[in-house]
Amino acid sequence: MTGNDKVKIFDTTLRDGEQSPGMSMNLKEKIGMAKQLEKMGVDVIEAGFAISSPGDFTSVKTIAETIKNASVASLARASAGDIDTAWEAVKAAADPRIHLFLATSELHLKYKLNLSEDEVYEMAVAMTKHAAKYTSNVEFSAEDATRSDMDFLARVVSGVIEAGATTINLPDTVGYSTPEEFYNFITEIRKRAPKLEDVVISCHNHNDLGLGVANSLAGVLAGVRQVECTVNGIGERAGNAAMEEIVMALQTRKDLYGADTNVVTTEIMRSSSLLSQITGVKVQPNKAIVGENAFAHESGIHQHGMLKNAETYEIMTPASVGVKDSNLVLGKHSGKHAFEDRLKILGYELSSDELSEAFEKFKELADRKKHVYDKDLEALVSKEAVQVPKTFTLGSFVINSGNEITAMASVKMKKKDEELENVSGGDGPVDAAFKAINKIVGRELELDDYSINSVSEGEDALGDARVVIKTVAGKKYAGRGLSTDVIEASIKSYINAVNKLYYDEHGENEEETMR
Ligand code: KIV
Ligand code: ZN
């Protein structure tokens, strides 16, 4: 190690991350997330698995056409059809990459592929050659590498490098390895496949034993120069190694790793929040780097130490990962310029239409809430970045509820210019309102998850409601709504989820109604 090495960050939030339950995203959300990843400075964005569905193909292609400052990759199995489709999807990118994978462990060969070692070897080499006809930016992943026979793995790795692979990924697919073992594994494979010295060695560590990040860092010590990871650590089963933890570990312990990344760390928090807003899945409060409590000091002794010298209990500053102090900033008398200036300080550059829309919302909020904090502004604005068309909007609602009566909700909504209204009883005011919306849109939607939290402090705090709704077919959509009134926030979150469902089923300009 030179002491100044760069470790590439290969972000697979939109592929491995999106593959996990409850994390699916629509096209707009994927584009919004990809732009944020680009802003954060990741080196490679794995945009999806182009052949897996027409929707995936479109999103990989659109991301490839949109992103200019990161390589855009599509996953492909080791088959010509997959590789051709992956290339079709990424070829317009500024720096397209084909990422093909084939399992190398005995278990996978026997039970999944039903192929011999020789057959897998031939297939890996032939398909790498096929991919290399399109581009020199070819990554080969030996799925389940850590449970593979070392001699066979070395043979495959050497073969695919000769065939044109320029990045070799050695995944711990089932999160079985431990840090010491993974260090030895990378060291050993480098000895057995000397051609690895001519390419980028990559790792992809799943988190089944909670060791995804530790294993990735051990990999870096052993010579890995690309780490595959996801924002908030989302991914199959227990997830993938968390991007924010790897990046901050490398930065904070540069003395140990002698390697750094290109990530703009001040964008980490925004990436994390954007992802949880999109998916409706919050990160646990004590999650390293991006959890609500990651920089909270509760005990008196710690607070005392912090006041004397922050380094007593803080190994990195909140500001370094983009956590802002929630200072009082704006109020109802603040004008558009002050609003725009503050957003710029927070890092949001909105188009003039977006700014006008956000300012309207800010004014509504400032009328109801005396103190508008940075957190409130971020909650208002970051959501705008990935909004689906607002086919349905809330008009008004009336709730009749009490502890001795059945709650009743009357909800008025608009579908474009059409006024819609319905009434329902329910198990409490929120349930009644959701049922009234179901009647309005003519769907039997089930509430799969619901939570409400406050964005900032104070009695008039902004309520942040999140729902996940489920269709009869089992498809899930997350929604989010903000208001100082918790029932209104809840209704808005439900309508937001319905709009996502509508967008998914009907696209951008579909006139047909859902009713
Ligand atoms: O976990 C894994 O092995 C993968 C590969 C497709 C890279 O996701
Ligand atoms: Zn994986």
In a domain, residue 289? The reply is no
In a domain, residue 286? The reply is no
Mutation to probe ligand 1, out of 141, 160, 168 (largest number of atoms < 8 A from CB): 141
Considering the domain architecture, whether residues 166 and 264 belong to the same structural domain is answered as: yes
State residue 384's pLDDT score: 55
Q: Which atom of ligand 1 is nearest to the CA of 145?
A: 3
pLDDT single digits (tens) 130-155 = 999 999 999 999 999 999 999 999 99
Considering the domain architecture, whether residues 315 and 372 belong to the same structural domain is answered as: no
Residue 298 has pLDDT above 70, yes or no: no
Q: Which atom of ligand 1 is nearest to the CA of 101?
A: 6
Q: Could you tell me if the CB of 464 is within 6 A of ligand 1?
A: no
pLDDT single digits (tens) 234-263 = 999 999 999 999 999 999 999 999 999 999
Which of 227, 208, 243, 169 has its CA nearest to residue 13? 243
- pLDDT grade, residue 385 (50/70/90)? low
State residue 195's pLDDT score: 98
Indicate the number of domains in the chain. Answer: 4
> CB of 476 within 8 A of CB of 483?
no
- pLDDT grade, residue 318 (50/70/90)? very high
Length of the chain: 515
Considering the domain architecture, whether residues 474 and 396 belong to the same structural domain is answered as: yes
Considering the domain architecture, whether residues 344 and 406 belong to the same structural domain is answered as: no
Q: In degrees to the nearest 10, what's the CA dihedral of 14, 16, 22, 23?
A: -20
What is the whole-number distance in angstroms between the Cα of residue 15 and the centre of ligand 2? 9
State residue 3's pLDDT score: 56
State residue 117's pLDDT score: 98
65: tokens are 């056409």
Q: Could you tell me if the CB of 141 is within 6 A of ligand 1?
A: yes
Mutation to probe ligand 1, out of 147, 206, 237 (largest number of atoms < 8 A from CB): 206
State residue 282's pLDDT score: 87
Considering the domain architecture, whether residues 240 and 339 belong to the same structural domain is answered as: no
Considering the domain architecture, whether residues 313 and 339 belong to the same structural domain is answered as: no
In a domain, residue 457? The reply is yes
Considering the domain architecture, whether residues 317 and 331 belong to the same structural domain is answered as: no
Final residue belonging to a domain, choices 386, 409, 436: 386
Mutation to probe ligand 1, out of 14, 19, 44, 143 (largest number of atoms < 8 A from CB): 143
State residue 330's pLDDT score: 85
Considering the domain architecture, whether residues 189 and 309 belong to the same structural domain is answered as: no
In a domain, residue 515? The reply is no
How are beta strands 328-330 and 372-373 bridged, if at all? antiparallel
Work out the mean pLDDT of the chain and round it to a whole number: 92
Q: What is the CATH number of the domain that holds 401?
A: 3.30.160.270
**Rounded-to-integer distance, Cα 314 and Cα 310, Å:** 6
What proportion of the chain, given as a percentage, has pLDDT over 70? 95
Considering the domain architecture, whether residues 382 and 402 belong to the same structural domain is answered as: no
Give me the domain span that covers residue 170: 5-279
Q: Could you tell me if the CB of 488 is within 6 A of ligand 1?
A: no
In a domain, residue 124? The reply is yes
Q: Could you tell me if the CB of 173 is within 6 A of ligand 1?
A: yes
Q: Could you tell me if the CB of 435 is within 6 A of ligand 1?
A: no
**Around Cβ 129, how many Cβ atoms within 10 Å?**
15
What is the number of alpha carbons within 13 Å of residue 152 lying toward its C-beta?
22
**Rounded-to-integer distance, Cα 19 and Cα 49, Å:** 10
Considering the domain architecture, whether residues 374 and 461 belong to the same structural domain is answered as: no
Helices 212-221 and 179-192 meet at what angle, rounded to 10?
40
